[in-house]
Amino acid sequence: MLAKVFINRFTAPLIERLAFRWSSAWRDALASAIAAALAWILATHLLGHVHPVFAAISAVVCLAPGLPSHGKQAVGLMVGVATGILVGEAALWLPDSYPLLRIGFATFSAIAIAALYGLGPVVPIQAGVSAVLMLAVGPESAGVVRMLDVLVGAGVGLVFSQVLLTPNPIGIIDSSAKDLLEKLAAGFGKSLQALEDKDAGKAQNAVQIFSRAHDSLIALENGISMARNTARWTLRGRFVSREVKDIASRYERHAVRLYASALLFAEAFADALRKEEGPAPASLHERLANVASGCAAIANDSDRPILIPVSASERADAVSGPWQLCLQHLSTVESALLTFGFTTQSDAKSMAEKAKTQI
């Protein structure tokens, strides 16, 4: 029994992380495979290259998973290769009495020059590789021929990233935010069960659920960064760049606050149940159920949930200290949730009245 509990405790988060990584990477992996095959075919038929390995490799380098910007990667790849080829061509004029010294000097020069551009790691990496290839296999294979292959591969990568598979930057942020809200909904749901059963053990399980939501918070931060790069480096992103800027800055300010306040609430809630200092606040059950169902509703693209107003009696010292601390953190959670799609009763009434007047 203990072994089963131990396995479930440690394998469940691992499986969850692996599933998240797979869902984030498989589309780019498939696009890389298709683009590599297409670049090979184009280089073979248009350029007459028998084995256009560099064309296929360039497409993979441009579209591989985990890149913040596929378009920026493609531009950096072409710039880096061109720099390395030029430096390698110049290094061929040096005496070949000491070939290793010549390769070392050419590699250093290519990387140092490419680093001055400030275009990302792919530029100096490709510059150094190109310089080494120029001196190792000769300009016939690593010069103009390789540059043409790279242009084909990077061109295919740009078509895929800029036209065919351009992600929606707003969708990137929304999907990351929804994943965070799903984790929080599970945590608040477990807290609600603990309150109904008066079970401190379930409350402690809720703390663990909220702690695991930290991965979703990091994913949201990465999604915001990716959305900004998409808005900057893709044609589709340019059209919604202002909206992306507003949404990203709003979530960036409140996501950490939401996660931290939810975790603090869970810890305070577990502490209050464990100490048993007086009954739970009368409205806690309703507010917890509202927050849990509201987080799930936003994650599933349902209607905007309405926050339950805090009664004046509970703002005073009507409950014991541990429960009062619990309510304070829950109020902070509710305030942060307004950024993620919750609304107040007054705002809901005004929107309903406005809809009636329009009808």
**Total residue length of the chain:** 359
pLDDT at position 26 over 50: yes
pLDDT at 339 over 90: no
Mean pLDDT of the chain: 83
Q: If DSSP codes are grouped into helix, strand and coil, which group holds residue 34?
A: helix
Cβ–Cβ under 8 Å, residues 201 and 195: no
Angle subtended at Cα 346 by Cα 344 and Cα 347, rounded to the nearest 5 degrees: 65
Nearest to 70 by CA among 62, 78, 59: 62
User: Within a 13 Å sphere around the CA of 113, how many CA atoms are in the beta-carbon half?
Assistant: 20
Of the chain, the end-to-end C-alpha distance in Å amounts to 62
- Whether 357 has a pLDDT exceeding 80, the answer reads no
Residues in Cβ contact with 287 at an 8 Å cutoff, skipping those fewer than 6 apart: 308, 330, 334
| Tokens read off for 174 | 């929304």
- Helix, strand, coil in percent for the chain, rounding step 5: 80, 0, 20
Residue 8 has a pLDDT of 60
- Distance separating alpha carbons of residues 111 and 131, to the nearest angstrom: 9
- Checking if the pLDDT of 1 tops 60, the result is no
- Could you write out the DSSP letters of every residue in 211-268? HHTHHHHHHHHHHHHHHHHHHHHSHHHHHTHHHHHHHHHHHHHHHHHHHHHHHHHHHH
pLDDT digits (tens, 9 = 90+) for 52-73: 888 999 999 988 888 777 878 8
Could you tell me the two tokens for 32?
A: 């890389």
pLDDT in the model for residue 316: 46
How many C-beta atoms surround the C-beta of residue 304 within 10 A? 13
Which has more pLDDT, 109 or 317?
109
- Does the pTM exceed 0.85? no
CA angle 67, 70, 75 (to 5 degrees): 120
89-93, 95-99, 286-290, 322-326: range with lowest mean pLDDT: 95-99
Q: What is the pLDDT of residue 239?
A: 76
pLDDT at 79 over 90: yes
Query: In which element (H, E) is residue 139 found?
Result: helix 139-142
Q: List, in sequence order, every residue forming a beta bridge with 343; answer none if it has no partner.
A: 306
Here the tokens at position 149 are 């292959």
Least confident of 32-41, 50-59, 349-358: 349-358
Residues 6 or more apart whose Cβ sits within 8 Å of residue 321: 277
> Residue written as tokens 């909904």?
185
Q: pLDDT > 70: what percent of the chain?
A: 89
3-class DSSP state of 114: helix
Token code pair at residue 83: 């720099």
CA-to-CA distance for 154 and 142, rounded, in angstroms? Answer: 16
d(CA 336, CA 40): 51
pLDDT for the residue numbered 319: 67
Q: Measure the CA–CA gap between 36 and 39, rounded to whole angstroms.
A: 5
